[in-house]
Structure 1
Amino acid sequence: MTSRAACDIEALADDAWLLRFGDRIDPELNAAVHAMAARLRALDPPWLRDVVPAFASLAVFFDAAEDPARVHAALLELVEDGGASALPLRPRDGVIEIPVLYGGEHGPDLEASAAELGLSPRELVVRHSAGDYTVAMIGFAPGFPYLSGLDPALALPRLATPRARVAAGSVAIGGAQTGIYPRESPGGWRLLGRTPWPLFDPRREPPTRLQPGDRVRFRAIDAEEFARLASRQDAAS
């Protein structure tokens, strides 16, 4: 079943509907996704259990005891009433600054990536850290933020052969996006640097440090500051 307005509504599971705003990575579509998520959270209908934003879609999970047709009708009414546009996306106050030690052992792909782009490593660092980013979605692994806003001139293809191990906190470029590996895992994105900040901790509420819709900037740091910040995180854990 589909809506006649801003998005299509598709069955995702017995207890979930998918609101599909499009099929491409686009800042306006992503803003509409987050606006609809915010609208649903603000309304907080009794049947709502969770909303999970993606780049161009929103999964809406509801109480399994609820009639799916009734939930569909409520979502359809919200969409047709301009539910997403009725509540413009309001990013969280302020910008989250993430410290990054670029290059060296923490950014093994920095020099090769810069050469491929026709830049010096320093120029790549300056341009990457000058970007204004938005957490478009969390995915791939718990706490992994897909960040939109990468300068199109810095887009890089993923590695032909992914690494078996990527260190937690690695800041990377994959295609037209940048992101941060929250935990050690395999990965094929180009590694530019690393942050000492932990992005995922199951003991914390919420466990993910960054949330969809957050605004982010990177700040280049040196090895001394990296070590100091890392030691603080170790002491706090």
Structure 2
Amino acid sequence: MSDAPKSEAGTISTPTPELLPAGTDGMLVRFALSPDPVAMAAAQGFELALEEARPAGVIEVAPALVSVLLRFDPAQTRRADLIAALRPLAERAAREAGHRPDPIRRWQIPAAFGGDNGPELAPIARQLGLSEREAVGEICKADLRVLAIGFFPGQPYLGLLPEPWNLPRLPELVPSVPSGAVVVAVRQIVLFGASSATGWRQVARSHFRCFDPARTEPMPLRAGDAIRFVPISAGELAALDTPDGMGGARLEHLA
């Protein structure tokens, strides 16, 4: 990972996981206090390890950007026993975080950039010293992964964009962006699952609905999925507003 934080010697720094109590039946495994790339990779690796071998008594796993929250059944396990089972998994995930595994799935999601579909694209491009076309190119060429899912069912936080895209949120909330809005801030992208107020900056819109209870798989995206946005025109976007809610998105299995 070329954008991973490094020590003065130039080697990738290894995060130190913290195992913290969260209420009477919860454990928070935290790899950092801020969303740096290595901590994100560690959290994803830890969540994958739990999928492969979930400790006894764990009844829920909820990954975030740099942490994973677990709920357990106190009738099935003690907190001390759970910590003993989780610690080696967390430490291994931290050690291996500098070697992010290749994705096994990649989504291609059409999106219309700029204009009414992305009112913040032009000011962001000016701020970065780019043309709008160049700014769209940087977004669409970025090695984006689903870092976490939350806020709205199935809604992904994607990253990371190149370092110049470490842009602050807007100083005031935008009253509403539409479902499918592609918004950016702090090197991340959120693909909104529903109309919402936001302080993030809308650069595009898709018709991909990240949550639809009528689908066989209501939330199709998974943490670790690779994402590539495919630029299309506003007219092409309108034609992708179809009942299946996929918005022309295509899933490719890489392994």
Same fold (TM over 0.5): yes
| Residue 49 (structure 1) aligns with | 59
Query: Cα offset for 1:155?
Result: 3.0
CA distance, structure 2, for counterparts of residue 109 and residue 194 of structure 1: 12
Report matched runs for 1:112-127 at 5 Å: 112-127=123-138
Which of 132, 147, 151 aligns to 1:136? It is: 147
1:33 aligns with 2:46: no
Report matched runs for 1:197-236 at 5 Å: 197-204=208-215, 206-231=217-242, 233=244
| Residue 196 (structure 2) aligns with | 185
SS of the residue 2:153 aligns to? coil
Q: Percent of aligned positions with the same letter in both sequences?
A: 34
8 Å Cα contact 2:207/2:245 also seen in 1:
no
SS of the residue 1:28 aligns to? helix
CA distance, structure 2, for counterparts of residue 191 and residue 74 of structure 1: 42
SS of the residue 1:191 aligns to? strand
Q: Deviations over 1:69-123 (max 9, x none)?
A: 222222235446x366579754542321111111121111111221222222112
Which of 98, 104, 116 aligns to 1:93? It is: 104
SS of the residue 2:51 aligns to? helix
Question: How many residue pairs get matched?
Answer: 231
1:8 aligns with 2:33: no
8 Å Cα contact 2:207/2:246 also seen in 1:
no
Residue identity matched to 2:115: G
8 Å Cα contact 1:137/1:212 also seen in 2:
yes
Q: Is the alpha carbon distance of 1:86 and 1:110 closer, same or farther for their aligned partners in structure 2, counting shifts above 3 Å?
A: closer
SS of the residue 2:32 aligns to? coil
Residue identity matched to 2:181: S
Which of 142, 156, 163 aligns to 1:152? It is: 163
Query: Cα offset for 1:53?
Result: 1.5
The alignment yields a C-alpha RMSD, in angstroms, of 2.5
8 Å Cα contact 1:34/1:89 also seen in 2:
no
Comparing 122-131 with 71-80, greater Cα deviation is found at 71-80
Query: Cα offset for 1:213?
Result: 1.2
CA distance, structure 2, for counterparts of residue 235 and residue 156 of structure 1: 29
Query: Cα offset for 1:205?
Result: 5.6
Query: Cα offset for 1:218?
Result: 0.9
Residue identity matched to 2:172: T
TM-score (ref. length: structure 1)? 0.87
What residue ranges of structure 1 are gaps of 5+ in the alignment?
A: none
| Residue 61 (structure 1) aligns with | 71
Query: Cα offset for 1:202?
Result: 3.1
| Residue 29 (structure 2) aligns with | 19
CA distance, structure 2, for counterparts of residue 235 and residue 18 of structure 1: 34
What residue ranges of structure 2 are gaps of 5+ in the alignment?
A: 1-14, 248-255
1:176 aligns with 2:187: yes
